[in-house]
Structure 1
């Protein structure tokens, strides 16, 4: 029987990072993954492939709609080769997965392929695809089994016409009319991919706005921008029926006036969130408690009810974000090593990779109002930037919320070109408890999108932006 200091179950961004950090700290480490491909949902059927398709479709959209205004003429008709686009996406995924394999070898981490389940607190069964079972012993274990797409109880997913995000990444044709149930990150990103390629896209959302967990100003601006691009929105609509009739899908919902509305399309993407994946883990055998929402219960050190077993990422409470899982993987490795790391969950940024991109960190304006915090607001429109006009990306804004008394930055909310990268500036500032004035006094290169952050900080400080 193989013996390890740490066994990690799941090889996603939480699991593989935890394994690497454990190995760096001198622990003999095993990584258990049920699929032949490492990287979990993020690398295989999530973050990486969806961004590959977003980038490919963005190039096509630019070629069709914007090249001419830049003085670029393409003889003949610009066409989509969806098969080639999917093929490129797969190539990006394979390169990324191969990179994880390299890192496992580099750090001398033993990888086991099979379904990991607890025999007891210190022993893990690994059931292989050939039916054989191997057992390993681990002083400590880390549960990093991730999540899977959630569904509504009355929807039967056939994975052909009524699909999840996994199938949406592998379509053989461009939908004529894609009905998206759910106005969150995944639905909007994949909806924009196929809208750019020629599909009619209708988003049906139960809440009264899209991206409902983010600042309302971002939802309003993103709605306006995506509507301009052709996406249709039906908020405050409760879906109560999804049926397939041959090649047609019929979705029925009730609006806020309780009136039934019917949508007909050739594909329906069910994008109503994700749920923790703990099936087959046999957690009870190790004394690990699962809550009523299927999440593994943990304390502040991410320790489960079994003192030598930890859990990270999508299987525990909090936003289901790859970078959150990675931070937690690092934290747990360092806790096991006897160190005292920390995570400020308020400073984990959230991003929507549509175009314009959306990014945020810290408190929303709605949260500050609810908490009774007195704050100042500074906003700056992207269209006022020379860099935005030069690239043609004029939609969006940056909004900074700072404490009325101390000027400490409490939240930063952005929508515009490349804000997924730009949000790191806000995270850095807030990690060091910067004031809006601190940011306003920093030199920002010209012309850049980042200048909007400085201008928003000026607006929050003394209401004195230079360019608006």
Structure 2
């Protein structure tokens, strides 16, 4: 039986980062994968969906006729789009394999090593795993084991997913062509991203079922409204305050009944219904009962300090990423956890993880970036704040790009310290400049600290600079002159 310092179940962002960090400490690692190398971080997840988004964005830009040029003979093939997306996934997987080969035995005799084994892993006991591949079973032992099995699309009770007409995000790459009409059930981040992708191509009539009055309800109303408006301007038909009544399979289409909050019903005919109501942790069939681990009702693994499944000092089993209770369903969160587990095991670094100021991106049209607190969070926690917004219509770079939609929104504490609490940004390049504010939040920086920077011109980031200046009434363009584009207000909890 082969013995390892660390065995990692799952090669997604959490598992792969844990394995690579263990190499840094000179450990012998076994990385186990039951499906695609890279997990949902590459295939049917973050990389492939974002590749589809980028391609759709490029196509929609080429199709525009308001920029002084017009493309002739513009066409799109879903088959060729998928081919390009698959090439992106293949490139990422080959990079991972190259690194695994570089640090394999006996090539890396001087330091840590990793071996990749394909198959389904199950616990035999706290230090032993069985790996089944092509009906052959192998046993390995490891001092420490990291569960990084990720998640899969959550099914909708009462609806049979046939992976042909009623599908999940895992089936997007299996479609033969653009559907003529599509219903997306679920208006969360994933649902809105696919609504953006398919509407960008202009080949599909996209319907989005939204149980709330606005999509992305966890964000402030102005953010949710801006996202809803941009989707509708892109051609998406949003059915607000609606729930799924019935899906009837016909010979050539699906007949869908939508039930609305006011009591009326709508009947739609669509080719494809995409179920997008969240993700289910992959915690089943791991043999957890053999090591005394019981998942929660949602299937998550309840982790303690340093992602351990028991007291850290006595624990040898850890969980990271979507499969854990603290899994934020984010690529960067899983990667952070995977690295943290190894550092907690093999170094003096024992600081607890802090997820409070993790920047996130939402790939809509335009891009949405967020970090820190929003107004709803502050009000729920009773935090007094000041908030300023600054429209991209006033930023020279946005004007030059002919991309004026969106705005920057920044919150600071209203307690005399003026600490930066959070930011939301909608518009081009939002993914690039959100990190600067995330850094200021993590450093507990104040408004005075933030205003020390000098931003290049012309740049999108000048919108941040001017938004920060609004708090001190020092902005070049004033709210009095542009009340519909610049705003400032305060909020304090009632006594």
Alignment TM class, shorter chain as reference: over 0.9
Q: Which residue of 2 aligns with 1:168?
A: 172
For residue 24 of structure 1, what is the aligned residue in structure 2? Answer: 24
Partner of 1:332: 341
Whether 1:413 and 2:387 are equivalent positions in the alignment is no
| Residues 54-453 of structure 1 mapped to structure 2, 5 A cutoff | 54-66=53-65, 69-74=66-71, 76-107=72-103, 108-128=113-133, 130-197=134-201, 198-305=203-310, 307-318=315-326, 319-338=328-347, 339-405=349-415, 406-453=417-464
d(CA) in 2 for partners of 1:337, 1:261: 59
Residues 240-282 of structure 1: CA deviation (Å, up to 9, x unaligned)? 3223212211222221213222222111111111111112111
Equivalent residue, structure 1, for 2:44 = 45
Unaligned runs of 5+ residues in structure 1 are: none
Contact 1:398 1:453 in 2 (8 A): yes
Distance (Å, rounded) in 2 between the aligned partners of 1:341 and 1:28: 25
Query: If the length of structure 1 is used for normalisation, what is the TM-score?
Result: 0.95
Bigger shift: 444-453 or 213-222? 213-222
Q: Are residue 33 (structure 1) and residue 44 (structure 2) matched?
A: no
The structural deviation recorded for 1:423 is 1.4
Q: Contact 1:50 / 1:169 at 8 angstroms: preserved in 2? A: no
SS at match of 1:58: helix
Distance in 1 between residues matched to 2:270 and 2:473, nearest whole Å: 48
Post-superposition CA distance 1:384-417 (Å, at most 9, x none) = 1111111121111111111001111111111111
Q: Any idea what the Cα deviations from partners look like across 1:299-350, whole Å, max 9, x if unmatched? A: 1211003711000000112420011000000110101114324422111122
Where 2:398 maps in the other structure, the secondary structure is helix
CA distance in 1, matches of 2:448, 2:159: 51
Q: Give 2:481's aligned residue.
A: none
Q: Structure 2 unaligned segments of length 5 or more: list them.
A: 104-112, 479-495
Distance in 2 (CA, whole Å) between partners of 1:361 and 1:216 is: 16
Contact 1:121 1:287 in 2 (8 A): no
1:73 and 1:258, CA in 2 relative to 1: closer, same or farther beyond 3 A? Answer: closer
Q: Is the 8 A contact 1:31 1:111 kept in 2?
A: yes
**Does the Cα contact within 8 Å between 2:181 and 2:204 map onto a contact in 1?**
yes
SS in 1 for 2:184: strand
In structure 2, C-alpha distance between the alignment counterparts of 1:463 and 1:118, rounded to whole Å: 62
Deviation at 1:28, TM superposition (A): 1.1
Equivalent residue for 1:458?
Answer: 469
Q: Distance in 2 between matches of 1:211 and 1:391?
A: 27
Distance change (3 Å), C-alpha of 1:182 and 1:463: farther
What's the CA shift for 1:286? 1.5
Provide the rounded CA distance (Å) in 2 between the counterparts of 1:446 and 1:282. Answer: 58
Structure 1 runs, 4 residues or longer, greater than 4 Å off: none
Q: Using the alignment, how far apart are the partners of 1:381 and 1:82 within structure 2?
A: 36
Cα offset, 1:118, TM superposition: 0.4
Distance 1:291 1:442, change over 3 A: same
- The CA RMSD over aligned residues, in Å, is 1.5
Shift of 1:114: 0.3
2-structure distance, mates of 1:103, 1:258: 57
C-alpha displacement at 1:73, in angstroms?
4.4
Per the TM alignment, residue 431 of structure 1 is displaced from its structure 2 partner at its CA by 1.2
